[in-house]
Structure 1
Amino acid sequence: MAAVTPAHLVAGLLRRGGAARGGVAGVAAAGAAAAAQFGLVVVVTRTVSAAGAGTFFAATAVALMAAGITKLDAGNGLVYFIARAKTYGYRGMTGYIRAATVPCVVAACAAAALLWPRVGPVAAMVPVIVLGDVLLAATRGFGSLRPTVLLDGLLLPVAQFALVAAVALAGRPGWLAAAWGLPYLPVLVLAAVAVRGRAPRCPYLPGTGRDLWRYTAPRSLAGAVQAVLQRLDVVVVALLAGPAQAAVYTAATRFKVVGQLANQGLAQAVQARLVSALAGGELARARELYQAATIWLVLLTWPVWLAYAVLAPWLLTVFGPGYGTAAPVALVLAATMMVATACGMVDVVLTAAGHTGASLLNLLAAVACTLALDLALVPAHGALGAVAGWSGGVLVKNLLPLWQLHRRYGLHPFGRHTLPALRLRTWAAPA
């Protein structure tokens, strides 16, 4: 069995047959996305007051939280069913795509209507974000990481940075939200074209929607909880400590997107393979994928966290005067992300094995931990209290499924596949 190397991961972007080999391409796009998002925060904090920046960050966080909730985790459901359907020629796949997208769009439109009075026009982007995300997930189910890498990983963050920078430098802070949301439209259009070119036309089969949502329903709630966990901290800081502290917190924790995007890039590359391996009882293959992805996640992100912990007092001054005082926030962030990345893609592996209910309970425990710590610490400690709450939630979210994978399957993030995964001799080996 060939080891999964970065070469395996890169080649998948160029050849459909190597889905697991697309991970480093995904991580490379994640690096570009992280740089663009970091640049966006710098531009906003440098050109807008701390209160204005905090208001903007809170509004976009609410929009992304709403999108994360209303997409109902239908994308992962599509990846699961499309990957399993490869053996019989993707029969009925257009029905699954339709069954996944319609409820999401309806929920997203309802959320947009409810949010409009609070966050303004940025709420209109919620249905666009949701539909684009679900359609990109469908392309990954068909074995192609290219649309996700190019559209979500490169086009979207770079276009957002360019438009937000143009608006901010032009002295039009009222247009920031529109500049941030507009790039989601071409992503949606191009994602729809990508799906149309891959999904074979076929009749809607009886039971399609029932089967999809029977699997996805527990993950829908889990996806909603995950979306809340990812964005809750910024909103809580804005509510309890004010928009200025929300701007400081957003700036100091902006680097966490590096770990999130790197993990997402690898997860997107191997998720379909994990589903196939675990569905077929290939525990050894699943173990190899998990351990290979974990070691590369650690190697790619730990240098970033160590450098950020050391250089934070100087790096944070890039955002403007007064932001350097948030260095303790950066230290907590770096330490937490190092622990999280060492656990690997634990939740992805757990759900690929079909344990969506356990994943949901883990996420609920993580959100409860975050909320409890935030309510106790944010009023007195502001951004530092918020990062402590976020850290507690992240640790719960990673350590609980790590223990469950050990107990159920004997899976560990490091083991006998760790060192072989580092060998570059399998550049051209088949996945």
Structure 2
Amino acid sequence: MTDTADRRDAGGTAGPGAGLRPVLRGGVVNMAGAVVGAGLNLLLIVAITRAFSQETAGLLFSATSVFLIAAVVANLGAPDGLVYFIARMRVFGRPGGVPRLLRLAMGPAVCAACVLAGALLVFAEPMAGALGSGEAAAYLRLLAVFLPFAVLTDSALAAARAHHDMAGTVLVDRVGRPLAQLGLVAGIAVTGSAGLLALAWAGPYLPAAALAWFWLGRILRGARPGAGPGHGPGAGADRGDQAREDPAPAGGAGAPGAAGAEPVAAREFWTFALPRALGGLAQMGVQRGGVVLVALLSGLAGAAVFTAATRVMVVGQFGTQAVLFAAQPRFAEQVATGDHEGIRSLYRAGTAWLLCVTGPLYLSVLVFAPEVMRLFGPGYAEGATALVVVCAGQLLGSVLGMGDLILTMTGRTGLNLLNNMLSLAANVAVCVALVPWAGATGAAVALVAAVLVRKALPLWQLRSQVVLHPFGRPVAAAALSAVLWFGALPLLADAVAGGGFAAAAAALTAGVLGHAATVWSLRGLLGLRPRG
């Protein structure tokens, strides 16, 4: 492809299929990291559940859930704001304003992280009492020290992704940090010093923050005015000179900074970011709040079982984020240029990609749920029903696609906030109703209800701007391939061979090969062979 075509590929002016190329590039890098990161995170959970008691594992999972929720609060929506406004700066040829935007975003976020870290230190004892374990106070205090580093890491990697650089996220957050956590937890498991588990889990955030900002600095130096396209590790498909050669219209209606001509004001940035922060808090409350609620309503052992049962969801989220992180800046650019057909094309293709990636995982785990739960050790088999519920819900969520991301990139963060708050409310209400008598399974039902609320509402809310729906040939082809190779084939093998590890391994191996061949043969239909 010529240089001009590459620039049009980034700018979204050459047709609906052209914009898929930079997303595919970033998605491939993210997917490689997602596979490794998912494996490392699963190994980390298995190491904890097998090396320590259910109470100790539940305590760590509950404390780290509090940490992750606090990190989302402290971020103040800065990562999403950075992606949104940096992408717009680049599409309008103003990359020189990025350092100022970083200062604008990071000052309040770091201050908020320090305040929340102090609050965790002060209120560690009362929170430990609520969790029913005196050891929780030590865990929470150790985690609090590393909260600012988690915030710094998230923002630096978000700014890198806005430059279409996915390698930093993969190397630092998907591979490096979980690998360090796994190594430290394994060392502690050998010594038996359970009191240091929180330090082993949170400690890697410090070097991760340093590496993330170093990586971003290299990108910014390569993207400075005069560096020219193609320089720097983060130089992606779209460049600053794109706006000169392919001028774009002003952004979509209702989006902040639509004109793209002036530096981003603090009020404009935080008007976008803060509602997104609350939305992110609600999402994290759904993902991690269930662990805390189960600990409060059903005990630490129940929290350990629920965490193990939902690990497949987290593994699947790595694959989902591989697509979302690559698509996020592209959606922001398409909204900025008013490319509604490009948005529809990327939405359909992205939904098909999500099913190609996550469908095999969720279907395989659904079929072999009892065997999967036995990986975590004795006492975790009771979580098989919860695991089936989670997998079924996540499959439905994948079919509904990325409407919530598109809603955010249109600047309608108020609606996104409403959706996420309704999702959190559904999760809490169902948890309170079901967890006391159904335990982990009740929390799994609550999680699925929350996911469906968050995924379905944006498709209805976007109807007046751009009509989106998940129904079409690409999504149908991806779904049928996953169901055939990872649903029907394993069930048939189990019925014929009478179960057993050998039959399951053979069926999964055949499924991987068959699904890969099917996806390859349908790559044109699935949008995996876009034309520029």
TM-score, normalised to structure 1's length?
0.92
Q: Give how far 1:211 is off.
A: 2.3
1:153 maps onto 2:210 in alignment: no
1:210 maps onto 2:267 in alignment: yes
- Whether the 8 Å contact between 2:41 and 2:315 is mirrored in structure 1 is no
Match of 2:73 in 1: 69
Tell me how large the CA RMSD over aligned residues is.
2.3
Q: Give how far 1:19 is off.
A: 4.4
Q: Give how far 1:141 is off.
A: 1.2
Match of 1:423 in 2: 524
1:199 maps onto 2:203 in alignment: no
- Whether the 8 Å contact between 2:276 and 2:417 is mirrored in structure 1 is yes
Provide closer, same or farther for how the CA distance between residues 371 and 46 of structure 1 changes in structure 2, counting only shifts above 3 A. Answer: same
Quick one: distance in 2 between partners of 1:207 and 1:314? 53
Match of 1:27 in 2: 31
Which of 110, 114, 132 in structure 2 is aligned with 1:109?
A: 114
- Whether the 8 Å contact between 1:295 and 1:414 is mirrored in structure 2 is no
Which of 146, 166, 189 in structure 2 is aligned with 1:125?
A: 146
Residue identity opposite 1:342 in structure 2: V
1:313 maps onto 2:370 in alignment: yes
- Whether the 8 Å contact between 1:4 and 1:289 is mirrored in structure 2 is no
Which of 412, 434, 442 in structure 2 is aligned with 1:355?
A: 412
Quick one: distance in 1 between partners of 2:37 and 2:384? 23
- Whether the 8 Å contact between 1:278 and 1:352 is mirrored in structure 2 is yes
1:293 maps onto 2:350 in alignment: yes
Provide closer, same or farther for how the CA distance between residues 49 and 4 of structure 1 changes in structure 2, counting only shifts above 3 A. Answer: farther
Render the CA deviation track for 1:103-122: whole Å, top value 9, x for unaligned: 11111111111112241201
Which of 89, 96, 112 in structure 2 is aligned with 1:91?
A: 96
Give the match's secondary structure for 1:198.
helix
Match of 1:52 in 2: 56
- Whether the 8 Å contact between 1:2 and 1:426 is mirrored in structure 2 is no
1:248 maps onto 2:305 in alignment: yes
Render the CA deviation track for 1:176-196: whole Å, top value 9, x for unaligned: 111111111121111111222
Give the match's secondary structure for 1:422.
coil
Name the structure, 1 or 2, with higher relative contact order (CA <8 Å, separation 6+).
Answer: 1
Render the CA deviation track for 1:220-277: whole Å, top value 9, x for unaligned: 2212222222210000011111101111111111100122221111111011111111
- Whether the 8 Å contact between 1:95 and 1:208 is mirrored in structure 2 is no
Gaps of 5+ in 2: 1-14, 125-136, 226-261, 478-520
Gaps of 5+ in 1: 10-17
- Whether the 8 Å contact between 2:142 and 2:198 is mirrored in structure 1 is yes
Render the CA deviation track for 1:268-320: whole Å, top value 9, x for unaligned: 10111111111211111111111111101101111111111111111211111
TM-score, normalised to structure 2's length?
0.75
Which of 383, 386, 402 in structure 2 is aligned with 1:345?
A: 402
Residue identity opposite 1:338 in structure 2: L
Q: How does 1:161-180 map to 2 (within 5 A)?
A: 161-180=182-201
Provide closer, same or farther for how the CA distance between residues 322 and 273 of structure 1 changes in structure 2, counting only shifts above 3 A. Answer: same
Quick one: distance in 2 between partners of 1:358 and 1:77? 16
Q: Give how far 1:417 is off.
A: 6.2
Match of 1:326 in 2: 383
Residue identity opposite 1:199 in structure 2: L
Match of 1:190 in 2: 211
Of 391-400 and 82-91, deviating more is 82-91
Match of 1:134 in 2: 155
Provide closer, same or farther for how the CA distance between residues 399 and 335 of structure 1 changes in structure 2, counting only shifts above 3 A. Answer: same
Percent of residue pairs bearing the same amino acid type: 40
Match of 1:12 in 2: none
- Whether the 8 Å contact between 2:26 and 2:164 is mirrored in structure 1 is no
Provide closer, same or farther for how the CA distance between residues 251 and 275 of structure 1 changes in structure 2, counting only shifts above 3 A. Answer: same
Give the match's secondary structure for 2:338.
coil
Residue identity opposite 1:264 in structure 2: Q
Pick the structure with more helix per residue.
Answer: 1
Match of 2:276 in 1: 219
Quick one: distance in 1 between partners of 2:53 and 2:325? 37
Residue identity opposite 2:318 in structure 1: L
Quick one: distance in 1 between partners of 2:35 and 2:391? 17
Provide closer, same or farther for how the CA distance between residues 430 and 107 of structure 1 changes in structure 2, counting only shifts above 3 A. Answer: farther
Aligned length: 419
Q: Give how far 1:406 is off.
A: 3.7
State which structure, 1 or 2, has the greater radius of gyration over its C-alpha atoms. 2
Quick one: distance in 2 between partners of 1:407 and 1:391? 27
Q: Give how far 1:4 is off.
A: 7.4
Render the CA deviation track for 1:132-173: whole Å, top value 9, x for unaligned: 101110111122111112111111112211211221122111
Quick one: distance in 1 between partners of 2:402 and 2:23? 16
Match of 1:283 in 2: 340
